[in-house]
Amino acid sequence: MTGTNRRRRATVAGSSALAALTALLAGFVGCAHSVSPPGGPIDTTPPYAVATTPADSSVGVDRLAAVEILFSESMERASVRDNLRLYPPVGRPNYSWSGRRFRVTWGDSLRAGTTYQVFLSGRARDLRNVPMAAPIVILFSTGDSIARGRITGVVRAKTLPTRGIPVLLFPDSTGGMPDTTRALEPSYQAETDTAGVYTFSGLPLGVGFTVHAFYDRNGDEYFDSDQDVLAGYGRAVRLTPDRTLADSINIVAVNPRAPAILNGAIASPDSTARFRIEARAVPDSSLVSRVERTGPGTFALRVPAGTYWLAARRLASVPRAARPGGAPSPAIEEAFTSHETAITVAAEEDRGPIILTFPASATKPPPPQEDSR
């Protein structure tokens, strides 16, 4: 092999090696994007606040102070921005990020001698869409003490969830219900824990509040009557120097679109008879809910909220041997009983037991025909 050919082959080999190295480096660069590596356990650890400024329960805070939260991991920034509130409200917020550190300032200075609540809903989540296990609440004061008012209670419900539900305080001057024709802007906000318990702290004294659990199904902060639920405590709660704590402010949340249940039982000596039970709406009798059962025993009818007339019939079938050619025969409605009065039920109500009694059947099958052959 000549020297020229050896140099040419060495040049080609060097070029190939350089191309391979370039491709390898490009692969590393491509891997620099924030993409989860394949395989391995799925991250389910909720994010949390490592540190906050001001620290919780700080006093003498500067009226131009910013609020900062250092999270345990990188957050989905829009979810933090959209779920953070300062109470009482102060002007328009301005947000900024530096890695895992979130900073917010406001257009106006804070009021002197006032206790503030920074509230970040537990709906804020990390980059893997794992939400926080609990909301972040930071109390601080521009005065020399934290306000002493507290309200605690439980949200209870049958068909609605009770965990992570916003609980809102409104001035009692708004009446029993806040203005639902516009976005709900509460004076303070809390959120229920896994047991449905909520707590407000740092509330001013000498002020009355109404308390509401807000099921905001689409998260738009407006009350949409066709899908949202706003359940109230029922009366105003006023904190005073002699009553700094209002506990057991419990709220029962009812879904107005959930059905009621009519529970009852058929009482009859006929263990093989079939019964049809109906709840017919008043005044719209075309709205009917029905169920059938064999023999005596319990029944349950799920009906929308309203007024109903409850009735039952015993269905007597003609024995197959008595039917021409042994053909099937429709059931015959033989006996009838009904509830004495119309029944009015509310959403989620469980009414009963309602006993419907039937005597022994008086229906006898016709005698078999004699063979004329």
Report the 10 Å Cβ neighbour count for 348. 20
Alpha-carbon span 275 to 284, nearest angstrom: 23
Alpha-carbon span 268 to 278, nearest angstrom: 17
38-41 — which CB contacts under 8 Å span 24+ positions? none
Domain ranges within the chain, ordered by starting residue: 45-145, 147-255, 260-357
Fold of 260-357: Immunoglobulin-like (2.60.40)
List per-residue pLDDT tens for the chain, 373 residues long. Answer: 545 444 444 444 444 444 444 444 344 334 433 344 455 578 789 999 999 999 999 999 999 999 999 999 999 999 999 999 999 999 889 999 999 999 999 888 999 999 999 999 999 999 999 999 999 999 999 999 999 999 999 999 999 999 999 999 999 988 778 888 888 899 999 999 999 999 999 999 999 999 999 999 888 889 998 899 999 998 999 999 999 999 999 999 999 999 999 999 999 998 889 999 999 999 888 889 999 999 999 999 999 999 999 999 998 765 555 555 555 555 667 778 888 789 999 999 999 999 999 988 765 555 555 555 4
Residues in the chain: 373
Asked if 110 and 135 count as a contact pair (C-beta separation under 8 A), the reply is no
Is 147-255's fold the same as 260-357's?
yes
pLDDT confidence of residue 318: 55
pLDDT confidence of residue 107: 83
Comparing CA positions, the residue from 360, 354, 349, 359 lying closest to residue 339 is: 354
Alpha-carbon span 223 to 230, nearest angstrom: 8
Comparing CA positions, the residue from 356, 159, 337, 343 lying closest to residue 262 is: 343
Homologous superfamily of the 147-255 domain (CATH): Immunoglobulins (2.60.40.10)
Q: Which amino acid is at 270?
A: D
In this structure, CATH architecture of domain 45-145: Sandwich (2.60)
Q: Which amino acid is at 129?
A: N
Q: Which amino acid is at 311?
A: A
According to DSSP, the β-strands at 245-246 and 115-120 are unpaired
pLDDT confidence of residue 28: 39
| CA dist list (Å): 300 to 276, 290, 352 | 12, 9, 9
